[in-house]
Structure 1
Amino acid sequence: MSNSGRKKPPLVADRRYPKQAKKPAAKPKAAAKAKPAARTRKPARKRNPIVALFLGLFGLIFRVLWGFGWRVGLITTLIIAAAVGYTAYTLPPVDHLYDGRARGSVTLLNAQGKVFAWRGDQFGGVVTAQNVSPHLRNAVVATEDKRFYNHFGVSPRGIASAVRINLSEGRGPLSGHGGSTITQQVAKLICLGVPYDPKTWKNEAAYEADCRESSLWRKAKEAVYALAMEAKYSKDDILTVYLNRAFLGAGSRGFEAAAQRYFGKDASDLNAPEAAMLAGLLKAPTRYAPTNNLERAQARAETVLKLMHEQGYLSDTAHAAAVANPATLSEAAQKKQGGYFADWVMTEGPGFFTKDTTEDVIIRTTLDPRIQVAAEQAMRQIFDEKVRDGSEAQAAIVVMSADGAVRAMVGGRKTRVSGEFNRATQAKRQTGSAFKPFVYAAALDLGRSPLDVIDDAPYCVNIRGSGEWCPKNYDKKFHGPVTLTDALKSSLNIPAVKLAQQSGLDVVRTVAEQFGIESDLAQGPALALGASEASLLEMTGAYAGILNGGSSVTPYGMTELKLLGDDTPVFQADSGIGERVIQEKTAKQLIWMMNKVVTEGTGRRAALADRQVAGKTGTSQSARDAWFLGFTADYVTGVWMGYDDNTPLKGVTGSGLPAEIWHETMQRVHAGTPVHDLPMMAPIPPTRSAPVIPQGQPPKISSEARTRDAVNDALNGLRNFENR
């Protein structure tokens, strides 16, 4: 049936919250809709608990260390930065670092005004990285620090490489190769800014040893200082300091001084081979110094040239040309003359201007290079020709003018040296019969004649506290009555002792001392036979006093001393002549007697064919020393020969090899020079036979004695004679 006509139900709003419908009954599981199957996983592998423990500990330690490490690193970096900043702030202006010498230099000029030697720390003047030869700048960088313009002062790669090389060569990591950059080397050269203080260090060597310390702490400080320098100065500034401060051997501080020392030119004018040789000195200045071994220096320079070529500083052509034409020394450096003489001058001058100078000093000397060469060649020839191979015998030569100006000095067989023991000035040796001219000078000055006769017969003297002493002649014979001239030319001992006794030992001693023998003289009669010791320089100076007419001389080698840059000399000298010792007539007669020694007596081997010579041989007890001293009208020369340890010479006396060395020296010295006669005077022969002076007869005192002192000394001798 239809519902039309029925009443429609009223409209009712849906409930806001409808009643919760009852949940339908759960379907059985089997009837439930099947879910997709879950993805199956492999069961987790259990880790070994021990391994897990170690991994956990490692992770923990790593996290702790990392946290601690980056904090420490940050703090360390800040500390280093602060240290670098502070050091950079305290660094002085760069031009204050160029010349850091604690002492000055001495340049020695010969008599012609040419440089022949240097002493002290030679500083040739400031050079810069811009004005030196480009070859020099390139050679230094190529050799010492090829990454110089690219690093920040320290090269970790260079340090690591150096440590590896040191360890591979069996040394400590910091021993040997340093891996230092040029900047670090500059820090070391300026000793980290600590100046030399004589109150702190014993000497400069101790100061420099401290500066070169290679401990880890020192290296760290050097690194900080290098970083500070890089922060404050430019690369060229640092290189400039290096070029001026580096030690390059032979007392040269800086490349300008070295260029002048070895090549006689400015550092700005060096060619590639010369620059390479100087740069090669940086490795070992003394070993590679060309004045010590030119071939070794050239080989080192070739290594430097190779480095320059490999790093592009030299083309193939330029490198080949440089290798084919190695650097050679200047004429002055090649000669290297007068080392013994230079050392002597340095000890004779005032210390504050010589060995201890803080200024740059120029000293003009009396050295004659021609005469120096003559003496060196003469010694070399005699030893080469007449001394057995392997002999350790030594010799010394001094040549001087009659006023005491020393013209040449050889202090030993090694002639091209410096700082060696100088046998011409430092050795005190028994003079033997070379002392006898002073005995005869005293007698002649008291009125005796060269023609007076004395008896060469057995003779003994009682010496208080020693007993009887009986001198013997060298030939063990007695010759009877002889003139004083014959006694001297034959070097008879007994007449010399008698004559000294008769004149008075005090008189003889006074004459020798006034002539310049400063060493202690023997008190007994053996004085007459040269029992005393003296240096060759003293003896040669004393003989110069005989040649100049009887006045004492002080041997001298310095004629002028000036400070560098000053025109006014601080010191000048033109003669060493002092007070008169014996009369001029006495000196001339003594020269006549000494001429007979060479023409007729023991000194015949010293004779020169073209001019007159006077001299005297000398052989000490047991032939430990052999001497010949003599002169022409122009020069006085002394020669000594012996062993440093006083070993007796075998078959050598003063009349042998020393006389031959003297002859060879003087022959070369006088080559091509005018001939002059000796200032000698022959005695007037007596009108009747000269009486023989009996043994023991007291001497007669001449009214012609030179001074009151000499007369008083003679009277004292008489009183001593009367008291015996």
Structure 2
Amino acid sequence: MSDSKRPKSRLVADRRYPSASAQKPKPQPKPKAAARKPARKQPARGKKRNPLVAFFLGIFTWTFRLVWRLFVRVSVVVALIVALAVGYIYTTLPNLSDLLDGRARGSVTMLDRNGQIFAWRGDQFGGVVTAQSVSPHLRNAVVATEDKRFYSHFGLSPRGIASAIRINLSEGRGPLSGHGGSTITQQTAKLLCLGVIYDPDEWDSEADYVADCRRGSLVRKGKEALFALAMEVKFSKDEILSIYLNRAYMGGGAYGAEAAAQRYFSKHAAELNPAESAMLAGLLTAPTSLAPTSDLERSQDRAATVLRLMNEQGYLNAEDTAYYQQHPATLSEAADTRRGGYFADWVMVSGPDFFTRNTTEDVVIRTTLDPRIQTAAEDAMTEIFSTKVKEGSKAQAAIVVMSADGAVRAMLGGRQVKASGVFNRATQAKRQTGSAFKPFVYATALELGYSPLDTVVDEPYCLNIPGSGQWCPKNYSNEYKGRVTLTEALEDSLNIPAVKVSESVGRDLVHKVAYDFGIRSELADSPALALGSSEASLLEMTGAYAGILNGGSSVTPYGLVDLRLKGETEPLMGTGGGIGERVINESAARKLVWMMEKVVSQGTGRRAQLPGWQVAGKTGTSTEARDAWFIGFTADYVAGVWMGYDDNTPLKGVTGGGLPAEIWHETIARVHATDTPKPLPMVAPEPPRPESVSQPAPQPQRKKRDTFLDQLMRDILGGGRN
């Protein structure tokens, strides 16, 4: 039977190895779907988008894209401009060494008569330091206080700026007024005045230049930011910090960390402990008001805050922080005395401006100051005002001590014995001299040949003054003593005899003698001249008395001995003071000293007596007791004391023979504490013949003018006139 119609059976091999065509295709893994944006959702059929919404949406999208493109383009342009500006400033920045000493003027260092430094003035620069050479405590204190992100930012701190703006706005100020958020780099840029160098020809004063450098306008802030960025490119962080540590003003005339460390602690900046470092770092915010020489307690309080910041930022552990807050830094003993006070201020004014107040060089001035005598005057002032002046009194006093040649050894211009830069009552105050002027009246009479033992009548006395009418002087006690010697009239400070003598010898001659002795203030041209109605400074009066002590020659008070540039040995100038021309003859001067000794030994100046020492002097009390004076001398020193109120309020119960004489006594007692007493250069007058007690001995060498004055003197001495 044929099987052609039957299906063919598969071979065994075919079943074992099926053909490719017969093999069942294996399912292939589906390829990953390519990431694509989700298809826009088609609006449902039958619903169309609101044409108004579509319109505004399209405008917003177009505007956003335009603004974005503009922003990107503007940002690129601004970045390019900033880069060019930073690059230009970079090329103008000097080398590091040229930026460390940035003072516009120099310093003045003053030495006392022993060659020791006692005062600094001007801009003091102690020497170059680096961020690595100073004490690490100082470096950490500055960073913790001024810019805690200093080592991580690029010169600007957006976070700091934003924080400063927030604080300013919260305190009711403008965004750029008050806190500035400046980094140390920006502060350094400001100290460099953005590269502008001080030119005296361009600026009215250095103060104007500094004020311009400190301006806080928006444009100025922008320039400051560019300058800071350029500095970050050119210098390392430590180099920028080094510039800052050398240029920053730290009060007391000290510029830079080294000068401040020497000024306040008498040590190098590398030796500062945490408390001292915190105090210096705290000065950076307000160097003048926070300076320890101005207000030590306030400076210590600020330092305690700095120590806390150092602890919070990991620079100081809690134990050390607590210790140094409880044991704050204090001024060293040497630093406390190196303010110079009134004396240093006076030397700065008395010297040439171009070498003192306006110096551009570092200058060294050798002076006449004796620190031992200065301390004696300060202690005496403190002693009297703390024990014998009513608490709360606003009365003031001044002291000047000098040698007979006019060399000033000590000066106090007020009760605040350590003050500097304040009103100096010893040199600047012009006050009525009262009876302290009378020695010049008697000096004139003695120069004309009269004797201390000649007599004058103390009695009611009047003068007719043209344009003013009758003037009748009175004695302080309102009593009259009749006939007295010139010596008695001086020792009891009698007013009527002084006026009579002045008018008899010639008011013009009295004026000339006082002027030649150094009283250059304007003197009154009236009979009241003899009673000290004119004004003079304490320095003038003390200098005039020095002329009496030295034998009758004028002196110009001086404090500057010589001046030289720092590092030089040859002085550029010497003293401008000392003994001048003779005013009265030596014999007259010695007799006047004898008369003035009686004032202290048995007259109105008894409280100035110094056991074992001969003392001469004169008291003085002005009208209504507005001023009280005592000026006196031993064989070695002349000292003048003035006391009164700045507003001319009358003193209560005080005369020249009272508290001023006691201040004088306390001062000179301390000055001569270890000295051997010396006699005064005085000569006692020869006793007059009985028949010529009221007349001076003839002086044939005198001129015709003297003969006329002699006759007038005889008339007055013989009984006076009304």
TM-score, structure 2 normalization? 0.89
**What is the CA distance between 1:717 and its match in structure 2?**
5.7
- Determine if contact 1:115/1:332 at 8 Å carries over to the other structure: no
**What is the CA distance between 1:142 and its match in structure 2?**
2.1
- Determine if contact 2:120/2:340 at 8 Å carries over to the other structure: no
Q: For residue 241 of structure 2, what is the aligned residue in structure 1? A: 239
Q: For residue 505 of structure 2, what is the aligned residue in structure 1? A: 503
- What's the secondary structure of 1:265's corresponding residue? coil
Q: For residue 129 of structure 1, what is the aligned residue in structure 2? A: 131
Q: For residue 514 of structure 1, what is the aligned residue in structure 2? A: 516
CA distance in 2, matches of 1:716, 1:275: 77
**What is the CA distance between 1:575 and its match in structure 2?**
6.8
Distance change (3 Å), C-alpha of 1:239 and 1:461: same
CA distance in 1, matches of 2:408, 2:606: 25
**What is the CA distance between 1:311 and its match in structure 2?**
2.8
Equivalent position to 2:388, from 373, 386, 390: 386
- Determine if contact 2:117/2:338 at 8 Å carries over to the other structure: no
- What's the secondary structure of 2:255's corresponding residue? coil
Distance change (3 Å), C-alpha of 1:266 and 1:713: farther
Q: For residue 178 of structure 1, what is the aligned residue in structure 2? A: 180
Q: For residue 400 of structure 2, what is the aligned residue in structure 1? A: 398
Q: For residue 274 of structure 2, what is the aligned residue in structure 1? A: 272
Deviations 1:331-381 (A, max 9, x none): 122235541111100011111111111111111211122222222222222
CA distance in 1, matches of 2:577, 2:69: 84
Q: For residue 602 of structure 1, what is the aligned residue in structure 2? A: 604
1:19-34 correspondence to structure 2 within 5 Å: none
Equivalent position to 1:119, from 118, 121, 133: 121
Distance change (3 Å), C-alpha of 1:715 and 1:523: farther
CA distance in 2, matches of 1:713, 1:334: 59
Q: For residue 332 of structure 1, what is the aligned residue in structure 2? A: 334
Distance change (3 Å), C-alpha of 1:132 and 1:427: same
CA distance in 2, matches of 1:419, 1:53: 76
Deviations 1:108-132 (A, max 9, x none): 1222222222111111122122322
Aligned length: 675
- Determine if contact 1:337/1:372 at 8 Å carries over to the other structure: no
Q: For residue 37 of structure 2, what is the aligned residue in structure 1? A: none
Deviations 1:153-190 (A, max 9, x none): 11112211222222233322222221111111111011
Q: Which letter maps to 2:606?
A: R
- Determine if contact 2:203/2:209 at 8 Å carries over to the other structure: yes
Q: Which letter maps to 1:417?
A: A
Q: For residue 699 of structure 2, what is the aligned residue in structure 1? A: 702
1:116-265 correspondence to structure 2 within 5 Å: 116-265=118-267
Equivalent position to 1:537, from 532, 539, 545: 539
Distance change (3 Å), C-alpha of 1:560 and 1:459: same
Which shows bigger deviation, 509-518 or 462-471?
A: 462-471
Q: For residue 359 of structure 1, what is the aligned residue in structure 2? A: 361
Identity %: 67
**What is the CA distance between 1:637 and its match in structure 2?**
0.8
**What is the CA distance between 1:719 and its match in structure 2?**
11
**What is the CA distance between 1:405 and its match in structure 2?**
1.0
Q: Is 1:62 aligned with 2:64?
A: yes
CA distance in 2, matches of 1:520, 1:700: 34
CA distance in 2, matches of 1:355, 1:161: 41
Q: For residue 26 of structure 2, what is the aligned residue in structure 1? A: none
CA distance in 2, matches of 1:109, 1:224: 45
**What is the CA distance between 1:221 and its match in structure 2?**
0.8
Deviations 1:384-422 (A, max 9, x none): 333333332221111111111111111112222211111
**What is the CA distance between 1:269 and its match in structure 2?**
2.2
- Determine if contact 2:141/2:306 at 8 Å carries over to the other structure: yes
- What's the secondary structure of 1:343's corresponding residue? helix
**What is the CA distance between 1:629 and its match in structure 2?**
0.7
- Determine if contact 1:610/1:675 at 8 Å carries over to the other structure: yes
Q: Is 1:303 aligned with 2:300?
A: no
Equivalent position to 1:650, from 649, 652, 673: 652
Deviations 1:569-625 (A, max 9, x none): 222349711222222221111111111111111111111223121111111122221
Q: Is 1:436 aligned with 2:438?
A: yes
CA distance in 1, matches of 2:707, 2:77: 94
**Gaps in structure 1 of 5+ consecutive residues:** 1-39, 694-698, 706-710
Q: Which letter maps to 1:625?
A: D
Q: Is 1:624 aligned with 2:621?
A: no
Q: Which letter maps to 1:600?
A: Q
CA distance in 1, matches of 2:601, 2:65: 104
Bigger-Rg structure (1/2): 1
- Determine if contact 1:337/1:369 at 8 Å carries over to the other structure: no
- Determine if contact 1:453/1:690 at 8 Å carries over to the other structure: no
- What's the secondary structure of 2:445's corresponding residue? helix
Equivalent position to 1:94, from 96, 115, 138: 96
Distance change (3 Å), C-alpha of 1:432 and 1:548: same
Q: For residue 469 of structure 2, what is the aligned residue in structure 1? A: 467
**What is the CA distance between 1:318 and its match in structure 2?**
4.5
Q: How well do the aligned residues superpose, as a CA RMSD in angstroms?
A: 2.4
**What is the CA distance between 1:467 and its match in structure 2?**
3.3
CA distance in 2, matches of 1:147, 1:634: 64
Distance change (3 Å), C-alpha of 1:45 and 1:651: farther
- What's the secondary structure of 2:649's corresponding residue? coil
Q: Is 1:688 aligned with 2:685?
A: no
Q: For residue 449 of structure 2, what is the aligned residue in structure 1? A: 447
Distance change (3 Å), C-alpha of 1:494 and 1:184: same
- Determine if contact 2:453/2:693 at 8 Å carries over to the other structure: no
CA distance in 2, matches of 1:713, 1:236: 83
**What is the CA distance between 1:328 and its match in structure 2?**
1.9
CA distance in 2, matches of 1:589, 1:401: 20
Distance change (3 Å), C-alpha of 1:91 and 1:483: same
Q: Which letter maps to 2:110?
A: L
Distance change (3 Å), C-alpha of 1:495 and 1:107: same
- What's the secondary structure of 1:287's corresponding residue? helix
CA distance in 2, matches of 1:484, 1:44: 135
Q: Which letter maps to 1:570?
A: L
Distance change (3 Å), C-alpha of 1:614 and 1:231: same
CA distance in 2, matches of 1:704, 1:60: 117
Q: For residue 666 of structure 2, what is the aligned residue in structure 1? A: 664
- Determine if contact 1:504/1:714 at 8 Å carries over to the other structure: no
Deviations 1:613-655 (A, max 9, x none): 1111111122221111111112111111122222222222212
CA distance in 2, matches of 1:646, 1:295: 33
Q: Which letter maps to 1:499?
A: V
CA distance in 1, matches of 2:387, 2:71: 78
CA distance in 1, matches of 2:682, 2:50: 118
Q: For residue 425 of structure 1, what is the aligned residue in structure 2? A: 427
Q: For residue 587 of structure 1, what is the aligned residue in structure 2? A: 589
Distance change (3 Å), C-alpha of 1:478 and 1:135: same
Deviations 1:248-286 (A, max 9, x none): 001111111111111112222222222221111112112
Which shows bigger deviation, 534-543 or 298-307?
A: 298-307
Deviations 1:489-519 (A, max 9, x none): 1111111111112222222112111111111
**What is the CA distance between 1:82 and its match in structure 2?**
0.7
Which shows bigger deviation, 314-323 or 616-625?
A: 314-323
- Determine if contact 1:109/1:115 at 8 Å carries over to the other structure: yes
**What is the CA distance between 1:720 and its match in structure 2?**
10
**What is the CA distance between 1:60 and its match in structure 2?**
2.5
Q: For residue 409 of structure 1, what is the aligned residue in structure 2? A: 411
Deviations 1:521-554 (A, max 9, x none): 2222221111221110000001111111111111
- Determine if contact 2:120/2:338 at 8 Å carries over to the other structure: no
Distance change (3 Å), C-alpha of 1:600 and 1:720: closer
**What is the CA distance between 1:146 and its match in structure 2?**
2.0
CA distance in 2, matches of 1:335, 1:41: 92
Deviations 1:701-722 (A, max 9, x none): 73466xxxxx587478679999
**What is the CA distance between 1:676 and its match in structure 2?**
1.2
CA distance in 1, matches of 2:475, 2:248: 63
Q: Which letter maps to 1:702?
A: Q
